[in-house]
């Protein structure tokens, strides 16, 4: 495996009973790359995320991270290795204030921040800084509100903050923009750009393609569990097979 390849999927297939959700999918992801993973609903995008992050095991095929076989490794061990994800459906601790949602990731063994004494108060300050970084206004009360009372846009930002808190190398964003207004998406794009400049590798699953294409280096398209295109945005979106997947027909 080339030193530049951070993640390799080799012949991944996943069956759920008699349903084949993913069929012989292979791809390489280079370190520092921002990859868009797109396709119609039910095409296998989230199945790939669940396989990479250990939430399900493949029926066949292998997953390699930094040259190491991580196929079937438990999710908490995957996170310790530096692969962290957001969820399509947000999963905060609804009864805790937003900033307290970051205390658990800040206690992770991956976190290398110099937090003196290991006291909650010190981590509270770091948590508030992280929330400000993703768009929680420092002077507002949003960071102190119970997570269950926050609107969807703030909950998506909280998901992103939880990911950043774990200091990952590979970040997988599963429909981060879903439920956000155009203004909220525009304010989040620079945060993703900053993560990229810091050397993070990012996979983004999105249906909001216009915003996605502003920040991706490459796009992979799935349809009915198969990879049907892989390349630069323009060449991929001009593919007859991709147009057929999205529009329901192929040009003659």
Q: What tens digit of pLDDT does each residue of 142-168 get?
A: 999 999 999 999 999 999 999 999 999
Q: How far apart are CA 232 and CA 251, in angstroms?
A: 20
How far apart are alpha carbons 173 and 90 in whole angstroms? 11
Instruction: Examine the domain organization and report whether 61 and 23 are in the same domain.
Output: yes
| Average pLDDT for the chain | 90
- Is the per-residue pLDDT at 215 higher than 60? yes
pLDDT for residue 247: 65
Q: Are residues 128 and 162 in the same domain?
A: yes
* Alpha-carbon span 142 to 139, nearest angstrom: 9
Residue 183 lies in a domain: no
Do 223 and 252 fall within a single domain? yes
Q: Span 59-78, mean pLDDT?
A: 96
The one-character DSSP state at 97 is B
Q: Write out the two tokens for 196.
A: 């990229």
Partners of 171 in the beta sheet?
84, 202
Number of neighbours of residue 10 by Cβ within 10 angstroms: 17
Question: What is the per-residue burial (b if ≥16 Cβ within 10 Å, else e) of 219-229?
Answer: bbbbbebbbbb
| Burial (CB count <10 Å: 0-12, 13-18, 19+), residue 25 | buried
5 and 63 fall within a common domain: yes
In this structure, the answer to whether residues 45 and 102 fall within a common structural domain is no
User: Is position 152 within any domain?
Assistant: yes
Predicted confidence (pLDDT) at residue 173 exceeds the cutoff of 80: yes
Could you report the per-residue pLDDT of 73-122, keeping only the tens digit for each?
A: 999 999 999 999 999 888 899 999 999 999 888 888 777 655 554 545 58
Residue entry with tokens 């250990």? 54
Cα angle 151-154-159, degrees, rounded to a multiple of 5: 125
The answer to whether residue 187 is domain-embedded is no
* Residue 132: predicted pLDDT: 92
Output the pLDDT for position 139: 78
User: 182 CB contacts (<8 Å, ≥6 apart)?
Assistant: none
Tell me the average pLDDT across 209-238: 93
Provide the pLDDT for residue 112.
Answer: 63
Domain of 163 in residue numbering reads as: 89-167
For residues 142 and 244, which has the higher predicted lDDT (pLDDT)?
A: 142
What is the band of 179 on the pLDDT scale with cuts at 50, 70, 90?
confident
Q: What pLDDT shows up at residue 113?
A: 54
Buried b / exposed e over 111-141, threshold 16 CB at 10 Å, is: eeeebeeeeeeebbebbbebbbebbbeeeee
Look at residue 249 and tell me whether its pLDDT is greater than 60.
no
Is pLDDT above 60 for 252? no
Q: Do 10 and 38 fall within a single domain?
A: yes
Residue 223, domain CATH: 3.40.50.300
Residues 77 and 8 in one domain: yes
Structure tokens at 102: 């970051």
Look at the chain and report how many structural domains it folds into.
Answer: 2
156 shares its domain with 207: no
d(CA 17, CA 35): 30
Q: Confirm whether 239 is domain-assigned.
A: yes
Residue 19: pLDDT band with limits 50, 70, 90: very high
């Amino acid at each position: 495996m080339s030193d530049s390849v951070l993640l390799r999927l080799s012949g991944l297939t996943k069956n759920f009973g008699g349903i084949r959700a993913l069929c012989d999918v292979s791809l390489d992801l280079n370190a520092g790359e921002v990859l868009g993973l797109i396709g119609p609903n039910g095409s296998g995008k989230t199945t790939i995320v669940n396989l990479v992050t250990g939430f399900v095991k493949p029926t066949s095929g292998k997953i390699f991270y930094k040259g190491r076989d991580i196929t079937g490794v438990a999710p908490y061990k995957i996170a310790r290795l530096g692969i962290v994800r957001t969820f399509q459906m947000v999963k905060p601790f609804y009864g805790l204030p937003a900033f307290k949602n970051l205390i658990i990731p800040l206690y992770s063994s991956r976190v290398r921040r110099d937090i003196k004494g290991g006291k909650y108060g010190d981590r509270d300050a770091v948590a508030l800084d992280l929330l400000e970084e993703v768009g929680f206004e420092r002077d507002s009360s949003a960071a102190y509100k119970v997570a269950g009372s926050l609107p969807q846009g703030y909950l998506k930002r909280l998901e992103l903050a939880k990911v950043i808190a774990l200091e990952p190398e590979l970040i997988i964003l599963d429909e981060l923009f879903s439920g956000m207004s155009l203004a909220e998406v525009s304010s989040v794009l620079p945060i993703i750009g900053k993560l990229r400049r810091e050397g993070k590798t990012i996979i983004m699953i999105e249906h909001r393609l216009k915003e996605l294409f502003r920040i991706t280096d490459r796009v992979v398209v799935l349809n009915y569990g198969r990879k049907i295109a892989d390349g630069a945005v323009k060449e991929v979106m001009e593919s007859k097979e991709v147009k057929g997947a999205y529009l329901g027909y192929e040009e003659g």
